[in-house]
Amino acid sequence: MDASMLQEAAAALLSAYETGKPIAPLIETYPAATLEDAYRIQQRVVRHWAERGDGVRGHKVGLASAAMQRQMGVDQPDYGHLTASMFHLEHQPIPIGSFLQPKIEPEIGFVLGSRLRGPGVTVADALRAVEFVVPALEIVDSRIQDWKISIVDTIADNASSGGVVLGSRPTAIGDIDLRLVGCVLHQNGQIAATGAGGAVLGSPVNALVWLANTVGPLGVALEPGHVVLPGSMTRAIPVSPGDTIVATMAGLGSVTAKFSGEERP
């Protein structure tokens, strides 16, 4: 894709954010698009937000499970950016109209205490950089119509990012084996899904290492205070107006997201 095509694709995604109207899959409009093109589109979108004051406050890792990688036909995860406006307070109403076609996933959120920059980051480096972990809920969303996404579509669309809700109980990473953390996801009081930390690349820490080593050569560092979401412990479930979602994680506590029926502003 040349520069004009990249900008055209980024503009289409930004329009979907602003109007609430999803677009046709980018891979249909630009069938020759590569993964490199997709990340360039993503960078243009994120740069547009940053220029308007919505700065990067972290990153997310997607396609962290073997099942999702097989579905997308890839052999590694992808990543997206978390900006300031994506963070929502626990227990406070989240206007569902802010999203197009939202789903929700439980994750173990890393909060960094020191800078982490690849290449060459090891598990030891990653563990040392994490100040604490918290239970988290990621709201995933797609600006692509009916979630008909290819790997190019999801990467260009900021790895299908939507929002984040962080729990308020911090836990030192050395106090718990993240691989063995079990999770129960409730939707309106009913069990919707279950999972464990080991579903995320064998350990959520592996996702953090992969992220640091992937974005480092691009000149990007994971900064102190940044939040990293390493991947979902369960399948994603759709959410509707009025839903209350609670993720309970053994040893980490719980996190709650409540969705109001407010329309788009």
Question: Does any domain span residue 265?
Answer: no
Segment 182-212, tens digit of pLDDT: 999 999 999 999 999 998 999 999 999 999 9
Mean pLDDT along residues 116-121: 97
- Cα 197 from Cα 182, distance rounded (Å): 7
* Cα dihedral: 158, 152, 42, 260 (round 10): -30
Give mean pLDDT, residues 111-115. Answer: 98
Say if residue 215's pLDDT is above 80: yes
pLDDT value at 40 more than 90: yes
User: In total, how many domains does the chain have?
Assistant: 1
CATH of the domain at 20: 3.90.850.10
pLDDT at 110: 98
Evaluate whether residue 46 is within a structural domain.
yes
Which domain covers residue 19, as residue numbers?
3-260
Q: Quick one: angle between helices 35-51 and 3-19, nearest 10?
A: 60
What number is the average pLDDT over the span 26-44? 97
Residue 30 confidence (pLDDT) above 60: yes
User: Which has the closest alpha carbon to 60: 89, 39, 76, 81?
Assistant: 81
Which pLDDT does position 66 carry in this prediction? 77
pLDDT at 117 over 90: yes
Query: In whole angstroms, what is the distance from residue 88 CA to residue 84 CA?
Result: 9
Q: Are residues 231 and 204 in contact, defined by beta-carbon separation less than 8 angstroms? A: yes
Q: Provide mean pLDDT across the span 8-24.
A: 97
Taking 90 as the threshold, does the pLDDT of residue 69 lie above it? no
Give the pLDDT of residue 178.
96
Flag whether 228 is in a domain.
yes
Residue owning tokens 């109007």: 19
